[in-house]
Structure 1
């Protein structure tokens, strides 16, 4: 299981039908689309301007010459002026001709809805109105074994085009082995925070289980649970004051406050399917992640 939004099918809508489809999802779920990450212990994150949404434009009708769909599919983080970090499964397994864009807007779903109405029938114009197009680079070792799937990718963007649309400070990446160096006791007391554009936890209704919301940048506290060589597991349990990630948060940041500074410790990859218990995140201080990132960004 992954937390890529496109896999759920809830937001895979054509540019011309974006607003109508979004309205239908809201009507079915009975929940405003302005909520995301989850519905408990989460708040909007307008200050996290380095966190963005990955938008895909792709063919969905078998005619690769005319890509006909566009939507946000994952989350991610700017780690320098032209590098957007996300998950490998977010940039893989797409039809030929897929194009990727990045938006750092707070409410990407509303922007897509408006652009879809303004550019009905023109998904390329819709995507360009909302995001900046970039070139994807997926770790060539993805998908690896479960112990280290190499589930990491970047979108290389034209820095001038990004700067012309958004102001942000790139996230701080961790030093090698920084989480190991903290040790169990300090990890247990380290504040963690997940951010992204994903949907809410599972809700049951007449039509079955749904994951409503999504498309708006949110944040929520999470707590340290366990550390593995390539993974950090973060608790999302509501009674402990935690929130958590869900579908569409794949590739998004899991920040840790280390030495008084906010550090991008890991990226969200997966978790439990109802989105209530655990966020499983890919460590960025581990050797494989650092080896991949070294080709694109200066590492501490």
Structure 2
């Protein structure tokens, strides 16, 4: 297996740094992706995590009308008021304030080795706006070569939020708690942290992963937290039979 160098900072940290200091990064949305269809299933369930000044720093997935799943590293050190943006870009967002959120207690914060619990959950202060619908969590098995759809909001070089893009990739490896995809020139990057990996099953999109980390350059391998692996924790915290 070839040696891979992964991002040394969490995907969200780079975006937060750009927002907080005025520094900029290169164009870092979903690489070589496609704008999500207006009103489609991807837009209905993929949401943006934003600060009180409207800066998008991570992505999440609506898994219930009142709950969003994202990455642990997105919120582990977050101290501001959190808003969830619904829509394809910050210019059209409908915002719902977060009532509460939690990072999985097993999350270590280390990106030097495996991060098996890089997952968080957010409770909304009100139900998702009309026209936005949750997706179910995929609880089945996934095999090498399976196709997944990735979606997310990336930061632009101006420091503003990007738009919702998606792309298709193949699974290159799995463990009980993580999924590795090979992007081959397309895929997630900084600002897409916590965003969904969707699988199509029975004619529906289901969420299987949440973006954790990726290979330097954003054009190689990325690792996704297997959401179903943390199903008991999610059910316990939300009180919902997800």
Instruction: State the TM-score, normalizing by the size of structure 1.
Output: 0.67
2:106 corresponds in structure 1 to: 141
2:86 corresponds in structure 1 to: 104
1:144-155 to 2 correspondences below 5 Å:
146-155=113-122
Kept in 1: contact 2:183–2:220 (CA 8 A): yes
1:94-135 CA-partner distances (Å, limit 9, x unpaired): 34xx11110112112x358xxxxxxxxxxxxxxxxx521111
- The structure with more radius of gyration: 1
Instruction: Structure 2: give runs of 5+ residues left out of the alignment.
Output: 1-8
Kept in 2: contact 1:254–1:267 (CA 8 A): yes
1:238-277 CA-partner distances (Å, limit 9, x unpaired): 3xxxx20001111100011234432211100100121110
Q: Would you say 1:86 and 2:27 are equivalent positions?
A: no
Q: Would you say 1:229 and 2:176 are equivalent positions?
A: yes
C-alpha displacement of 1:12:
3.4
Q: 1:245 aligns with which of 171, 176, 188?
A: 188
Kept in 1: contact 2:116–2:178 (CA 8 A): no
Q: 2:138 aligns with which of 153, 174, 177?
A: 174
Q: Would you say 1:52 and 2:43 are equivalent positions?
A: no
User: Structure 1 residues 228 and 198 mapped into 2: Cα distance closer, same or farther (>3 Å)?
Assistant: same
1:53 is paired with a residue whose SS is strand
2:56 corresponds in structure 1 to: 72
C-alpha displacement of 1:169:
1.9
Kept in 2: contact 1:265–1:283 (CA 8 A): yes
Kept in 2: contact 1:2–1:271 (CA 8 A): no
User: Structure 1 residues 211 and 291 mapped into 2: Cα distance closer, same or farther (>3 Å)?
Assistant: farther
User: Structure 1 residues 72 and 83 mapped into 2: Cα distance closer, same or farther (>3 Å)?
Assistant: same
1:203 corresponds in structure 2 to: none
Query: CA separation in 2, counterparts of 1:214 and 1:233?
Result: 26
Instruction: State the TM-score, normalizing by the size of structure 2.
Output: 0.81
User: Structure 1 residues 99 and 8 mapped into 2: Cα distance closer, same or farther (>3 Å)?
Assistant: closer
Between Structure 1 and Structure 2, the one with more strand by share is 2
Kept in 1: contact 2:64–2:135 (CA 8 A): yes
1:246 is paired with a residue whose SS is coil
CA RMSD of aligned residues (A): 2.8
Between Structure 1 and Structure 2, the one with more helix by share is 1
1:121-270 to 2 correspondences below 5 Å:
131-134=95-98, 135-143=100-108, 146-160=113-127, 162-163=128-129, 166-175=130-139, 178-179=140-141, 182=142, 184=143, 187-188=144-145, 190-199=146-155, 214-238=161-185, 243-270=186-213
Of 219-228 and 142-151, the range deviating more from structure 2: 142-151
Instruction: Structure 1: give runs of 5+ residues left out of the alignment.
Output: 14-20, 58-68, 113-129, 201-209
